[in-house]
Structure 1
Amino acid sequence: MVKLYIIRHAESQWNPIGRYQGLLDPELSERGREQARRLGEHFKDVELHALYSSPLKRTLQTAQEIASVKGLEVVEERRVIEIDHGNWSGLLVEEVQERYPEQFRQWLEEPHRVSFEGGESLQDVYSRVNSFMEYLKERHWGQNVAVVSHTVPIRCMYCGLLKVDLSKFWSFGCDNASYSLVHMEKDRNVIMRLNITCHLGELYVEAHKAL
């Protein structure tokens, strides 16, 4: 079995204003830095053998707080990088609603059908994160592993781990600096904890519904 901790990065500078980040690279906000510190403290007594992160600043800065507490090296992994939002990248939610109303509706109601112009589709992300999940099972069987990623790849991970259709993409909560625990067993995957945020206390902020 692999005990897999799936972690979303702490709050970035763009999260509070509802701006699509994609592969753009804002750093953590002031609140996000404190969220990441508390997340690291929470993992102080959790046994970890490996720590992976998307190569973007918001994930690396979050992962580093865990790494410093655990004495681990952060391994950068492009397969868990955020979706490339293409033409949406850098736009506010309100701007996307105005410029791309039909695609925005589809993103909320039929995300599995969306392919971002100049970017990726949900299926693209699903394929790469599932490739990484298989790698983890082969490389880290019998170990505890943490992965710091983003909302879209994380929700795709859940769909892949549970073998549910990508149309269920929005069925999983994914707040900043949250973590989930999945037991990756030989013939099944069991979600033991989902979107845990109790370590954040007053720093908890509910995630934007459209990001």
Structure 2
Amino acid sequence: MLRILLVTPGATEYDQQGRIQGNLDIPLCADGREQVADVIGELGEFHPEAVYASPCESCEQTAKELGAAFDVRPKSVEKLANLDHGLWQGMLIEDVKTKQPKVFRQWREQPETVCPPQGETVQAAEERVGEVLRKVLKKHKSHDSVVLVVPEPLASLVRHLLRKDALTDFWGREPGHASWEAIETPAAIGGA
């Protein structure tokens, strides 16, 4: 059984400002770097054989620190990029909520039914992330641990695909604080 250590990166300035980051390339802030150090301390009992990361700067910085701690070279994976929130990227979450309350509520409750203007659908993200997960599961079949460093809300999508459950609470985990969880995954991810 493969253990996926799902890690979200530390905070960025956008997270602290309450902005929609999407797939914008924003570095960790000072608080975010401290959060990553805390996560590394918590993961000390694990010995992952690989670290895969979203190509955004905050995830790559987090993965670099994890890789150094575990003596593993992190790999940036383009298809693990966060959801593209199109024209919403950079906006304050509160502004979207105020200006488009019905769409915002639908985005929170049924994310698969909303596509931000010039953004990406959840289904498109699910397809590309599913492809990455299938490859990771095929490559690391044994009782190993593998780290995936991905930002929210993509981490919620990864969680959904690995657990094979309903896509609920998609936006329940707000970005802006490094965290981790272990997910045991005995079965392959569905799809082609």
Same fold flag (TM > 0.5): yes
Aligned counterparts of 1:79 and 1:100: Cα–Cα separation in 2: 29
TM-score (norm 2): 0.89
Give yes or no for contact 1:80–1:150 (8 Å, CA) kept in 2: no
Aligned counterparts of 2:163 and 2:98: Cα–Cα separation in 1: 35
Q: Which residue of 1 aligns with 2:5?
A: 5
Give yes or no for contact 2:19–2:93 (8 Å, CA) kept in 1: yes
Q: Which residue of 2 aligns with 1:82?
A: 82
Q: 1:87 to 1:25 in 2, by over 3 A?
A: same
Deviation, structure 1 residue 66: 0.9
Aligned counterparts of 1:7 and 1:163: Cα–Cα separation in 2: 19
Which of 1 and 2 has higher RCO (CA within 8 Å, sep 6+)? Answer: 2
Q: 1:94 to 1:174 in 2, by over 3 A?
A: closer
Deviation, structure 1 residue 41: 2.7
Name stretches of at least 5 consecutive residues in structure 2 with no aligned partner: none
Q: Which residue of 1 aligns with 2:154?
A: 153
Aligned counterparts of 1:85 and 1:52: Cα–Cα separation in 2: 22
Give yes or no for contact 1:49–1:144 (8 Å, CA) kept in 2: yes
TM-score (norm 1): 0.82
For residues 6-28 of structure 1, what are the alpha-carbon distances to aligned partners after superposition, in whole Å with 9 as ceiling and x for unaligned?
01111111111110011111111
Deviation, structure 1 residue 172: 5.9
Give yes or no for contact 1:8–1:151 (8 Å, CA) kept in 2: yes
Q: Which residue of 1 aligns with 2:44?
A: 44
Give yes or no for contact 1:84–1:120 (8 Å, CA) kept in 2: yes
Deviation, structure 1 residue 162: 2.4
Q: Which residue of 1 aligns with 2:35?
A: 35
Q: Which residue of 2 aligns with 1:163?
A: 164
Residue aligned with 2:182, SS: strand
Aligned counterparts of 1:169 and 1:78: Cα–Cα separation in 2: 25
